[in-house]
Amino acid sequence: MSRSERLQRWREEEEESDEDDVVFLGAMLAALKRKKNKKKFRGSLPGRHNVPRDILGGHEQIYWDYFADNPVYNEKHFRRRYRMSRALFLRIVAAVEAHDEYFRQKADAVGRLGASAIQKVVAPFLMLAHGVSADFLDDSVRMGESTIIESFKHFVKAVVNIFSERIPKGPQCPRHSQIASH
């Protein structure tokens, strides 16, 4: 085989290789586009560790500690822990639950009940009242850190939407006049 024949064969192979590269790149771009448009997966993932938190047990514990007929902790303890009365807390829970469907207790795909409205509101209140992080609360409310953070975000939005009209604005508000005078 002469040098010119070898050179011609090499050029043909290179052209075929370039065509293969273009086809490959096109397939890669199409796959990336599909991946970008695909919704993020939510739920359990194969190979991931699932922590059995006993979410219903967490609700029961909170209920027996603070809301039962004879709770473990009395009104004084409740006020110290949540910085408000039990009655006000329950009114806020009811208002938030009525405002945002996120706070309604729902069953998952298997039929297990998720966290209750009280659990989803206790976590943000404890975070606000005591300045603790979400991962600090996962043992007491029996929810994962990401769920606690999600509850916090929904809670803040709901409270602002529900109660922002009730906050007095302007000089008639005693707090406003204190701030303005400084």
Average pLDDT over residues 9-21: 64
∠ CA 144-107-128, nearest 5°, is 35
Position 41 scores a pLDDT of: 55
54 — alpha (psi -120 to 50), left (phi > 0) or beta? left
Position 93 scores a pLDDT of: 93
**Which has the higher per-residue pLDDT, 163 or 158?**
158
Backbone angles phi, psi at 70, to 5 degrees: -120, 80
pLDDT bucket at 42, cuts 50 / 70 / 90 = low
Which CA distances in Å does 13 have to 1, 8, 17?
16, 9, 6
Q: How far apart are CA 9 and CA 114, in angstroms?
A: 67
**Which residue, chain included where needed, has tokens 């090499």?**
10
What is the amino acid identity at position 90? Answer: L
Mean of the per-residue pLDDT values of the chain: 79
Indicate the SS3 state at residue 113.
Answer: strand
Which CA distances in Å does 57 have to 34, 74, 173?
41, 21, 43
Does residue 26 surpass a pLDDT of 80?
Answer: no
User: Domain residue spans in the chain?
Assistant: 1-35, 55-166
**DSSP conformational letter for 71:** -
